[in-house]
Every structure is written in C-alpha cells, then in structure tokens.
Amino acid sequence: MKRILIIGTGSIGERHLRCFQNTRRAEVAACEPNEELGRSVAGRYGCPWYGSLDEALGAASFDAAVICTPAQTHIAIATQCVRRGLHLLIEKPLAVTLEGIPELQALVGERNAIVRVAYIHRSLAPVRKVKDLLESGVIGEPKQLVIVTGQHFPTFRPAYRSIYYTRHESGGGAIQDALTHSLHGAEWLLGPIQSVFADAAHQVLEGVEVEDTVHLLARFGGAGNGVLGSFSLNQFQPPNEAYLTLNGTEGSLRSESHRFRVGVQRYGDEDWNWHQLPPEDRDGPFLRQAEAFLNALDGCPEDLATLGDGLQTLRVNIAALESSRTRREIDL
C-alpha cells in the first residue's frame, strides 16, 4: 500500500482522493486549509485530514502527493514536496508561467523523483484507442487533425464563478482549463506543437470575464511533422460532446468520446467502421490514471505525462493566450 497525500480537496481533489482510494492499493490523506471542506471530505472517505502542508508533512510519512490546488501554486508546492522525498502527480496545467520550473526540474533529477502531470486524455479509452490505431498505420501518415468539443460548464462545474476559473493568473479561462486537455492529447498523438494562432473571447458564461470560447490553429512538429491542427471549443452549449478526426494519406480516424466509439474509414470504404467501447462514468479515466501513477511508483511501465510533457503543453497554453491577445501567430 502506498501512502498518498491529496493536496487540495475541491472537486478535482476529491475525485483524485476517491479514485486512489478505490484502487485498493493506496492509503489516502487530505490536506485542505478550508476546515469545513477538509473535515467534510475526511468524514465522507474515512481518511486523515490536515489543515496545512507543513502539518501533513510533519505528522506523517507519504510516498507521494497529488497537487490539486490552483495552478499558480503548483511549482512552489511541488518543490517543497520533492525536497521532502515525495513523488508527485500534479494537476493540469503544470503552472501559469515558467517561473521556478528549471529549479524544480533540477531538483527532480537530483532526487530521482517521479513526477507526472494529470492530463486525463491519456487515460480516456477513446483517445487511447485512437493512439493504438494511429500507431498501427491504418490511416497512413497523418496530415490533418480536427478537434471540436463543448459542454455546458455551469452543469459540470456549478461553482465556476467562485473558483480558480475566474482569472488567468490562477489557471482559469477556457484555454488553460479545458482546451489544454485537447492540446496535450493532440501532442501525445502527433508530437510537439510548433506554432499556434488563437482567437478567443468571452461569449456567454455569466459572472466571469475570461474566455469561454476558443478557435485555435496549430502546426505540429516532431513525430507529427507537417500535420495541421484545428481546435474549436466552447463552454456553454447544451450537449456535452467531443469529436476528434485525424485524416491521413490512407484513411481517416474519428473519435466520438461522448458516444464511447472510434471509427476508421479507409479509401474505398463506404462508411465508418466503428469500434464500440464500454461506457464508463466520469471516475473511470481517473481511476485508470491513479492505477498508472501507482504503477510508476512500483517501477512498472506507464504512459502518463511527464514533467517535460507538462512543460511543453504549458508553453502551448502561454502561446495561445499571447496569440489571442495580440491576434498573431506565435512560434514556440
């Protein structure tokens, strides 16, 4: 059994706590400065609660921590934890600026710490199926990616007006909160993004001024050299939908994550050939992610985002925000 400290027990922190507990491979504890929230979570899950990180680290020994605080606090907390010998799973985005990251990277290397970034698309069954099919060569060389997503944010995050989402400085807005998942998932499939052009605006969501709608164009390098990408996202439409289409030299792949299916259509096929995947609830991918992180702690293979992967997508986030402000293409 691994001892896992969950730092921050808002909605995502509570989900991590529940899913690590449900692996039956971990003993969890909560670290939450809001006493009412901390005691409530500890009561629901029958776990210890600490009111501060210093208190938690002074009172008990942990193998790893899951950092679920606002993004601007991630690097300082991560640095403190690594200095105390903990491995880390850090919620996305890794940070909101590059400040402190080189020092953290050096410390991680010095202490041989395992650090992963919680980009959940790597654990979504439809995206994993797309990756397997893409790597099989079924569509030849990928040339174009189109991702279209949307959901009614007030339904999925009713407290959005009073949390980190309201400010870019704390990781808020559609680019850092939601689009970053698609951007990272695309980089996992195709390699690093080389340049972005973003158009973003606040269109509908009440009580905030940050963008809730984004259109972004990207060019990929690395393993996906020459691929053109298009991303469209809003956080106010009624249906919760996520479409991913990859067009290649020998065919196309399509994921409809909300329908748990992935299709292949090669030249000469009359229609899509669908692979139907088992449906799962919202905890499903997070449970898979928790298992993968525990595998990493045990020295077993896993494919979660590394610190370097998280840094690459952070650079894309920063470029996208700059592009949306300046109305010009940004090279990374």
Domain range summary for the chain, segments of one domain joined by +: 2-120, 121-280+306-331
Q: What is the spatial distance between Cα 18 and Cα 21, in angstroms, rounded to a whole number?
A: 5
- DSSP 3-state assignment of 42? helix
CA nearest neighbour of 131 among 122, 141, 140: 122
pLDDT at 116: 98
State residue 222's pLDDT score: 55
Which pTM does this prediction carry? 0.96
Check residue 255 and give its pLDDT.
98
Separation between Cα atoms, residue 196 and residue 80, nearest integer Å: 33
How far apart are the C-alpha atoms of 263 and 275, rounded to whole Å? 6
- CATH pick for 121-280+306-331 out of 1.10.3720.10, 3.30.360.10, 3.90.550.10, 3.40.50.1000: 3.30.360.10
Query: CATH: 1.10.760.10, 3.20.20.80, 3.40.50.1980, 3.40.50.720. Which one for 2-120?
Result: 3.40.50.720
SS3 content of the chain, % helix, strand, coil (to 5): 45, 25, 30
pLDDT string in tens for the chain (332-residue length): 999 999 999 999 999 999 999 999 999 999 999 999 999 999 999 999 999 999 999 999 999 999 999 999 999 999 999 999 999 999 999 999 999 999 999 999 999 999 999 999 999 999 999 999 999 999 999 999 999 999 999 999 999 999 999 999 999 999 999 999 999 999 999 999 999 999 999 999 999 999 999 999 999 985 446 899 999 999 999 999 999 999 999 999 999 999 999 999 999 999 999 999 999 999 999 999 999 999 999 999 999 999 999 999 999 999 999 999 999 999 99
* pLDDT for residue 223: 47
Identify residue 121 by its one-letter amino acid code: H
pLDDT for res 225: 60
The residue type of 289 is Q
Nearest partner of 77 among 31, 120, 22, judged by Cα: 31
- The reported pLDDT for the residue numbered 66 is 98
